[in-house]
Structure 1
């Protein structure tokens, strides 16, 4: 990894919403429709955040029928650093468990 790659990787996670996305993905793989509920954002807005994270290779996508399931890229050169940084952050107010309790957890399979 060179200086430019490091800068691009860190810039991609410098947004609060992208940090939240990564925090959620540190727990489990999720679909964009779940992020719309968790972050109270539109699907296009979340897709833009996902595009930036994917370009920086922080996340991976897996197609399941018409759904795309997102997960952290464990092969990223800074994966261990990312996990350490995410562990320092508080847990988000909304959780996947709260979506389940509210009946808003989507089964994207």
Structure 2
């Protein structure tokens, strides 16, 4: 295998390692629908803030997602400049949408909200 082909294979291996975790995959499915903050993801995933932050850090370090800071809040979104974004998008588009879960979260008036 040539050096460029081996490097390319390593990039895809890294991508598949990141999305092989169920929580990170769900985060990507949510972020495919819209930009969200940590508290939104905590509510959607029903996991702690440290857990969500750890998964977001891994995805951000891999270049798969981006963060935007606004005041005290950080908002996460898919990185459309990620080199394998088109491959990731094909995979995500083949999976069930989680948009309904986001809509239910928006309609839940009992929850504390930072953005919605």
TM-score (normalised: structure 1): 0.90
- Unmatched 5+ stretches in structure 1: none
Aligned to 2:91: 85
Cα distance in 2 for partners of 1:92, 1:105 equals: 21
Aligned CA-pair RMSD: 2.0
Aligned to 1:98: 104
The residue correspondences of 1:1-109 to structure 2 (distance < 5 A) are 2-92=8-98, 95-103=101-109, 104=111, 106-108=113-115
Cα distance in 2 for partners of 1:105, 1:46 equals: 17
Query: Does the CA contact (< 8 Å) of 1:99 and 1:105 recur in 2?
Result: no
Query: Does the CA contact (< 8 Å) of 1:36 and 1:46 recur in 2?
Result: yes
Cα deviation digits, residues 56-89 of structure 1 (max 9, x gap)? 1000000001110000000011111111111111
Cα deviation digits, residues 31-62 of structure 1 (max 9, x gap)? 01000100100000001100110111000000
Q: Which has the higher helix share?
A: 2
- The count of corresponding residues between Structure 1 and Structure 2 is 109
TM-score (normalised: structure 2): 0.85
- Unmatched 5+ stretches in structure 2: 1-6
Range that drifts further, 53-62 or 85-94:
85-94
Query: Does the CA contact (< 8 Å) of 2:68 and 2:75 recur in 1?
Result: yes
Runs of 4 or more off by more than 4 Å in structure 1?
A: none
